[in-house]
A and B are shown apart, each in its own frame.
Chain A
Amino acid sequence: MTETLANPMASAATATTNQPLLDVRKLNKFFGGLRAVNDFDMIIYPGELVGLIGPNGAGKTTCFNMISGLYTPSGGEIILYGQNVAGLEPYEVTQMGVGRTFQNIRLFPNLSVLDNVRIAYHTHAGYSMIDAILRTPRYERMERELTEKAQDFLSIFKLERIQDELAMNLPYGEQRRVEIARALASNPRLLLLDEPAAGMNPAEIVTLMDLIHFVQERFNLTILLIEHQMRFVMGICERITVMDFGEVIARGTPKEIQADPRVVEAYLGKGATHAA
C-alpha cells in the first residue's frame, strides 16, 4: 500500500538533500498600504519538519496563502524544486505537490467523508468524463481503485467507520483528521498545516503530534506548519521560524528560539525578559 500512496517524486527528492524543496526569497505582500509580509525568506530541505510561529497578525497565514497560490505575492519568489511558482493558480501549485489544510477547517460540508477524500484524487483519477458518461470498464476499474485508496487513507486516520457520514456532522477533532487525510490524498511532497492543533485539548495534541510524525515518515513528507501552541511546536519541529509584524525575527532550533529575547519580547511584550 505504501507503494501506491507515497509520492514517487518524494523518495527521488530525498536523495538530493542539498537541493532545497522550497526556497522562498524576499516574499512581499501588500494589502493596500498595509505591508502584511515583508521580505520573508525561508528554505526548507526535503524531509524536514519546520514550524512557523508568531503572534496573531504576524503574517503567517498570508505566507501560507502565497505559497499555496491563494494569494498572488506583491513581490519575491517562491521556488519549489527549482521552479518559481509565485503567482500560479492554486490548483497548479497543488498539482505540483503542495497540499494544505486551513486554519478554520474547510471541508466540503454536505459531502460524505469518503467523497471529501476522493475529491483529492480528482486530478489523477485516471478516467475522463466520457468514460464516466459511458460507464466504460476503465471508469469502473479506476473508480474502484480510487475508492480503495481513499479508504486506505481513512483507515490510517481511523475514519473508515464514518466514511458515509456528512463532513459537517463530525466532531471537531475528526474534521481536523479528515482535512489532513484529504490533504495527504492529493499526493503532496510538501504539506502545509495551518494551526492543526487549534482548539484541541492537551491529550489530543499529543495524539496529533504522533500522527504528524507518523504521516511524515510514512509518506516521506516535508512539513511546514503554523502553530500557536508552544508545547506542540517545541515538541515536534526541527527548525522554527518566528515572524512578527510581517518580518522574520528569529530562526533556529526550538531551544535557540526559546532563549531568543526578541521572540520572548514579541510574545510577551517589552520588559518580559527582565521580569523572567
Chain B
Amino acid sequence: MELDPLSLLISIVKIAAVMAWVYGLLRVMGHASKWVKIGGIIALFAVVQLAISINVGDSPILNNFDTGLLFQACTITMVSLGLNLIYGFNGQFSLGQWGFYGIGAYAAADITYRWTNGDAAGLLVAGIGVILIGVVILGLNRFLSRYRGLPVLSAFTLYLIGVIIAGVAAYYIGATLGPMLAPLFGTSDVPGILRSDLALQVVFVLAVFIAGAFAAEVAFLFGLPVLTLGSDYFGIASLGFVIVVNTLMVNSDTILPFPEMKGGRGMVGIPQVTTWFYAFFFLLLVIVVMRNIIHSSTGRAILSVREDETASKAMGINIANYKLLSFVTGSLFAGLGGGVYAHYIGFLSPGTFDFLIGFNPLIIVVFGGLGSMTGTLVAGFFWMFFLEGMLRVLLGQLGTEAPTWRFVLYPITLLLMMLVRPKGLLGSVEWGFLKRPVAPRRGGNDSARGPAGVVPALK
C-alpha cells in the first residue's frame, strides 16, 4: 500500500485552483468597474459549472465527490462567516452556531419535503409564522424601547408570549389554507401545477430564506437573556443550546410532532434541489451582506463592542443591542447555510449536528483569523478540500483505517498554526472586495486648517 503520486499532485492542484478561485472572486467583486464585476462573477461561476458538467474521459473534471466538497465548502463558509461576525467582529464567544445551522437545515428540509408530498401547509405555516413572529419581535422591540430600565427577563417573557401567540396564529392560518391548495398539486399520476419543477425551485428558495429567518428568530429569543452573561458564560450557554437542539432532532418523531424527520434514523426523501448556482448565489449573498454591514456605521459599532465595551458605551452605543444584532445576523447566515446543505445531500441525520462537529466553524474562524472575512473564506474552502478531500483520499490509499489519522494530523496542523501565526492564517488581511475602504487623506497644507499654534509641541 503506497501513495499514488499522481493523485497527490491532482489533489494539490485542486486545492491551489480553489484558493485561486476564491482570490479571483474577491478581486473581481472588488473591481471598480461595474461590468468587470458582473462579467467576472459570471465567468467564475461558469468556470466551476463547466468543470462540473464537462466530462473528461468518463467522469467530470470535478467528480461527484469534489462537487460535494464544493457545496459543503460553500455552506460551512456561510456558517463560519456568521460565527466570525459573532466571535471575530463582535467578540462574543459562541459555540451555538452549529445549532442554528441544524435548525435551518431541518426547517428548510421539512418545508420542501412536505411540498413534494403534496402538502402546502408546511410552507404556509412556516412562512406566515416567520413573518408574524418577525413583526411581533420588531413591534415589541420598538414598543419596549420606550421603557427605560426594563429587566431583561421581563422583556424576554413579553417577547416569548408574543412569539407563541404569533406562532399559534400562523399554525391555524396555515393549516386552514394549506389543504385548500391540495387540488393544485394533483396526484402523482396527474401532477398539478404546484408539483412542477419550477414550483419546487421557488419553494426551495423560499424555504431557505424562511429557514434563515427562523434561525434568526430563535437566536433572538435565545440571545436576549443569555447575551447579558459575560462572554465565556455565554459560550457555555450556547454549547448547551447546541445539545438541546441536537436532542430535539434525535427525538423529533417522538417528543416533537414531526414524524417525517424520523428522529435519530435521519430524515430521508428531501428533494435534492441545490445546484452549484444556488450554493454560489447564497454564498455570494452572505458575503455581500456581511461585508456591507461591517463597512458601515453599524459595523463600526459592532467592532467597538469587541474592542472596549466601556468606551463603546461612553460613545452612546447600546452594546446589548449590537451584541444581539450580530448574534441574530450570524445565526441568519447559519440558517441559510443549513437550508442549502439540506437540499444538496437530500438526507439529514442528527449526527451531523452533534456538538463535537459544531466546533468545526469555530476552528475555521480561528484558523482563518478572527475578524477576517477573507481568512474565513479561505479557511472554509481549504478545510473542506484539504481535510475532507485530500487527506481522506490519500490516506484512504494507505488502508481502510488510515483516514482516521487525519484527526491526528489536523489538530497538529492547528497547534503549529497557533504557535507560528496566533492571529490566524491571514491575520486581519482582506482581499479585494473585502478590503476596508480607505478614506481619502486630506492632503497639502494642514497648518491652514487647524488653529495655528494650538498644538505646537506635538508633531
Count A-B pairs with CB separation below 8 Å. Answer: 151
Q: Which residues of chain B come closer than 8 Å to A157, judged between CB atoms?
A: 450, 455
Residue in chain B with minimal CB distance to A101: B314
Question: Is residue A70 contacting chain B, with contact meaning CB distance below 8 A?
Answer: yes
Question: Within the complex, what minimum Cβ distance (angstroms) separates B145 from chain A?
Answer: 11
Complex-state Cα separation, A110 to B300, whole angstroms: 11
Q: Which residues of chain B come closer than 8 Å to A70, judged between CB atoms?
A: 310, 313-314
Question: Is residue B292 contacting chain A, with contact meaning CB distance below 8 A?
Answer: yes
Quick check: A108 and B457 within 8 Å, CB to CB? no
Quick check: B458 and A133 within 8 Å, CB to CB? no
From residue 219 to 253 of chain A, which have CB atoms closer than 8 A to chain B?
Answer: none
Complex-state Cα separation, A107 to B298, whole angstroms: 18
Question: Within the complex, what minimum Cβ distance (angstroms) separates B53 from chain A?
Answer: 33
Quick check: A119 and B314 within 8 Å, CB to CB? no
Of A132, A146, A174, A206, chain B has the most CB atoms within 10 Å of the CB of A132
Complex-state Cα separation, A207 to B301, whole angstroms: 32
Listed stretches B13-21, B351-359, B436-444; interface member: B436-444
Question: Is residue B319 contacting chain A, with contact meaning CB distance below 8 A?
Answer: yes
Residue in chain A with minimal CB distance to B329: A129
Q: How many chain A residues have a CB neighbour from B under 8 Å?
A: 63
Complex-state Cα separation, A70 to B304, whole angstroms: 17
Quick check: B439 and A89 within 8 Å, CB to CB? no
Q: A108-B304, A129-B296 are in contact. Are A122 and B315 (CB under 8 A)?
A: yes
Quick check: B301 and A204 within 8 Å, CB to CB? no
Question: Is residue B289 contacting chain A, with contact meaning CB distance below 8 A?
Answer: yes
Quick check: A129 and B298 within 8 Å, CB to CB? yes
Quick check: B438 and A111 within 8 Å, CB to CB? no
Q: A110-B307, A139-B296, A158-B455 are in contact. Are A122 and B450 (CB under 8 A)?
A: no
Q: A132-B297, A151-B442 are in contact. Are A89 and B318 (CB under 8 A)?
A: yes
Residue in chain B with minimal CB distance to A188: B316
Query: Which one of B310, B317, B455 contacts A122 once the chains associate, using CB atoms below 8 Å?
Result: B317
Complex-state Cα separation, A146 to B295, whole angstroms: 13
Q: Which residues of chain A come closer than 8 Å to B57, judged between CB atoms?
A: none
Question: Is residue A45 contacting chain B, with contact meaning CB distance below 8 A?
Answer: no
Question: Within the complex, what minimum Cβ distance (angstroms) separates A97 from chain B?
Answer: 10
Question: Is residue A60 contacting chain B, with contact meaning CB distance below 8 A?
Answer: no
B321-344 interface code vs A (CB 8 A; 1 in, 0 out)? 000010000000000000000000
B156-199 interface code vs A (CB 8 A; 1 in, 0 out)? 00000000000000000000000000000000000000000000
Question: Is residue B303 contacting chain A, with contact meaning CB distance below 8 A?
Answer: yes
From residue 137 to 173 of chain A, which have CB atoms closer than 8 A to chain B?
Answer: 139, 143, 146-147, 151-152, 155-158, 160-161, 163-164, 173
Quick check: B318 and A91 within 8 Å, CB to CB? yes
Quick check: B314 and A68 within 8 Å, CB to CB? yes
Q: Which residues of chain A come closer than 8 Å to B442, judged between CB atoms?
A: 151, 155, 160
Chain B residues in the interface with A (C-beta under 8 A): 148-149, 289, 292-293, 295-301, 303-304, 307-308, 310-319, 325, 371, 428, 438-439, 441-442, 446, 449-451, 453-459
Chain A residues in the interface with B (C-beta under 8 A): 68-70, 87-92, 94-95, 99-100, 102, 106-111, 114-115, 118-123, 125, 127, 129, 132-135, 139, 143, 146-147, 151-152, 155-158, 160-161, 163-164, 173-174, 177, 182-183, 186, 203-204, 206-207, 210-211, 214, 218
7 contacts between A and B (CB under 8 A): A90-B313, A111-B300, A118-B300, A119-B304, A155-B450, A186-B316, A206-B457
Closest CB pairs A-B (n = 9): A132-B296, A108-B307, A94-B316, A125-B297, A90-B313, A106-B311, A123-B316, A207-B457, A155-B449
